Amino acid sequence: MTGWRLVLQRLQALPQLLQFIVVGGSAAATHLVTVGVVVSLTGMPPLWANVLGFLVAFIVSYNGHAWLTFSAAQARGWATVARFFAVACLGFVANESLYAIALHGLHWHYFWSLAGVLVLVAAGTFVLSKFWAFKVRTA
């Protein structure tokens, strides 16, 4: 068995909440790294870089949740992508609002503020993803 297959098999054996944390953590890390790189290399304001970080992380998040966390539902296709994108956008509105408060109201560091905000928004994302975005649709 190849290394990737073994890793995937072990991830599939985890409880769903732990799978969500692994995928969400990967997406959050992607988001953070993207924002950090964009701000450092271009000087773009963090709130604008956060939009780019969200879009890049969405790709990681959707694919990870569709193929791992919520794979048992077999809910894939454009309708599922649209529902999950709606969930992600709702989460991003909360993210951007809390991030603006942390940056401009509390004057916290952009990187650590974003890390905290990503953790706070994750719980709502799990609930909406499980019970709406990736819910099995019956005819």
pLDDT for residue 139: 54
pLDDT for residue 54: 92
Mean pLDDT for 113-135 is 83
pLDDT for residue 74: 72
Over residues 57-113, the pLDDT tens digits come to 999 999 898 888 887 777 677 888 888 899 899 988 998 899 899 989 899 888 888
pLDDT > 90: what percent of the chain? Answer: 30
Rounded CA gap, 136 and 130, in Å? 10
Over residues 2-13, the pLDDT tens digits come to 787 787 788 888
Which has the minimum average pLDDT: 18-32, 100-114, 123-137? 123-137
Mean pLDDT for 121-125 is 83
pLDDT for residue 101: 93
* Residue 84 near residue 133, CB atoms below 8 Å: yes
Question: Tokens for 28?
Answer: 């959050």
CA 47 to chain centre: 17
The number of residues making up the chain comes to 139
* Residue 50 near residue 114, CB atoms below 8 Å: yes
